[in-house]
Amino acid sequence: MGGYHAREWIAVDVPLLLAKHLLENYSGDASIQNMVDNGEIWIVPMVNPDGHTYSVTDNRLWRKNRRNNGDGSYGVDLNRNHSYEWGGPGSSGSTFSETYRGTEPDSEPETKAIRDFAMQHDLRALVSYHNYSQLVLYPWGHTNDPAPDAGLMDGLAKTMADRILSVHGKSYIPEQSSDLYLASGDATDWLYGETGVPAFTIELRPRSGNPGFQLPESEIQPTFEENLPAALFLIQWTQDSSRMSTL
C-alpha cells in the first residue's frame, strides 16, 4: 500500500512502479512469472486520493484526508484511524492536529475500504510505504513492548534492509516502529494485531527533512530500484511453503 499520507508522493510511486515491473517482466523473467502464477499480489498505490489531490492543487505538505470536521478544520490522519489500539499514544483527539484520529475507529471511507479488503483476502504479509527517514519498521507502534513475533519480523526487516542497501548503497534502518515514535491506530499494528500477519512500514528516501517530503523527481527511479528486491523477497517469502519462523 502507498499514499496513506497525502504529501508523501514517493510512497505512491514505489508501489505503482512495482506493479508496472511485475507486468512488464512477467513474460521474460521466470522468477517474476513464478511469483505471479503462484500467489496473489495486491497493490494499492494510493489509499488517500482526496488528500493527495489537495496536496497537488492547494497545499503540498497536506497530510490527512479531506474530511470536513464541521468546525473549520479538515482531515483525519488515516494512519491513526484503524481500530487496533485506536485512541492510544501518538494520536490526537484535536481535529486541527496532523495526527487527528477521527471520531471513532475506521470512521473514514479509506480505512474502511482497507479493512474490508484485508478481511476478504488471505493476506500473508503487508508493506505500507511512507516517507521519509529510510527505515524498515515493524509492530508494535503503539507501545515499546515487543510484539509476540518480534524475532520473525525483525529478521524479515533486516533482510529487506540488506536487499535495499545492495542496490545503491542507501542504508535503511530496521527497527520496531515505536523506536521512531509511538503511534496508535496505524495500518501495520492493526493488521498484525487483528490477524497476526507480519506487517511493515517502509519509510522511503530521503534520510532527513531536507528535502523531506518534497523529494526531487530524479529520486523516484532510484528509490524504486533499491526497494524492488526487498518487495520481491517478501513476496517470495509469503509463497515459501515452509514459512520459516526464523531466518
Count how many domains the chain has: 1
Domain-located, residue 98 = no
Tell me which residues are annotated as active site.
Answer: 203
Average pLDDT over residues 193-217: 97
Average pLDDT over residues 74-91: 98
Per-residue pLDDT at 244 exceeds 60: no
Amino acid at site 146: P
Per-residue pLDDT at 48 exceeds 80: yes
What is the spatial distance between Cα 186 and Cα 91, in angstroms, rounded to a whole number? 9
| CATH number for position 133 | 3.40.630.10
Domain-located, residue 99 = no
Domain-located, residue 158 = yes
What is the spatial distance between Cα 131 and Cα 103, in angstroms, rounded to a whole number? 26
Domain-located, residue 234 = yes
**What's the DSSP call for residue 147?**
P
Give the range of the structural domain holding residue 140, as residue numbers without chain letter: 10-62+107-238
Element (H, E) at 238: helix 220-238
Element (H, E) at 151: helix 150-168
List pLDDT tens digits, range 86-131: 999 999 999 999 999 999 999 999 999 999 999 999 999 999 999 9
Domain-located, residue 91 = no
Q: What is the pLDDT of residue 245?
A: 46
Domain-located, residue 88 = no
Amino acid at site 135: L
Average pLDDT over residues 53-67: 98
What is the spatial distance between Cα 180 and Cα 165, in angstroms, rounded to a whole number? 20
List pLDDT tens digits, range 130-146: 999 999 999 999 999 99
List, in order, residues 6 or more apart from 222 with CB less than 8 Å away.
167, 168, 205
pLDDT confidence band for 184 (50 / 70 / 90) = very high
Per-residue pLDDT at 18 exceeds 70: yes
Domain-located, residue 79 = no
Nearest by Cα to 232 from 10, 41, 12: 41
Q: What is the pLDDT of residue 246?
A: 44
Q: What is the pLDDT of residue 243?
A: 60
Q: What is the pTM of this model?
A: 0.96
C-alpha grid cell for residue 41?
499480489
Q: What's the whole-number average pLDDT of the chain?
A: 96
Domain-located, residue 100 = no
What is the spatial distance between Cα 67 and Cα 54, in angstroms, rounded to a whole number? 12
